[in-house]
Amino acid sequence: MSKLEVRQCLVQDGRVIVTCDEVTEQCGKFIVRIGNRSGLYDSDGNIVLPIMYESIRVSSDGFIFPVGSFGMGLCDASGEFIFRPDYDSVEVRDGHVVLYDGSLYALASLDGKVLLPFAYDHITVLVAPSFVALWRSRKCTVYFTKTDRVASIWGERFEFTDEHFTLYKDDQPFVYDAMGNQINMEVTTE
């Protein structure tokens, strides 16, 4: 098919696909606005999401974030819902989805599985791919993504590398490997 032309409508091969108030291109998709509602079309003129959302954002990695009257959702690049628009906030961070319900955070996978329930004041997905820091009542612990486990210790702060995550409880370090095993790190002096 030929490339879409963007005007006050989407036009393909001289044929108007949809007349609208505004068209915005984001990452190869077209957000179409009619009145106070938005929809999404792909570059071939196919409907990805119908014109029924308050707003739509497309991320550079292809994820679609529709906002409806009940909240924000998450779709894959084809418009299939991973999470329905029921949340105050949805963010994709380093292969995980952080959901916010207005008071607490949950962690989910990109296939729609909730890994950790809404029980956390804050969730920090770390650059190190094996660790996710969880916060509740100003204390933190760690979720190990490789083994789907949460550490039993809650500390005041943490440090991490690609291989280790260290929780500090009362200034005592508790060191874990990427699999969630607690290990003792010997400090050597020469």
pLDDT digits (tens, 9 = 90+) for 71-85: 999 999 999 999 999
The range of the structural domain enclosing residue 10 comes to 1-87
Q: Model pTM?
A: 0.84
> Of 15-24, 94-103, 106-115, which range is least confident?
15-24
Q: Is residue 13 located within the same domain as residue 72?
A: yes
Q: Please report which confidence band the pLDDT of residue 156 belongs to, taking 50, 70 and 90 as the band edges.
A: very high
Map residue 172 onto helix, strand or coil. Answer: strand
Residues 82 and 6 grouped into a single domain:
yes
Q: Is residue 1 located within the same domain as residue 72?
A: yes
Q: Is residue 99 part of a domain?
A: no
Total domains in the chain come to 2
Q: Is residue 103 part of a domain?
A: no
70 and 124, same domain (yes or no) = no
Residue 104 is assigned to a structural domain of this protein: no
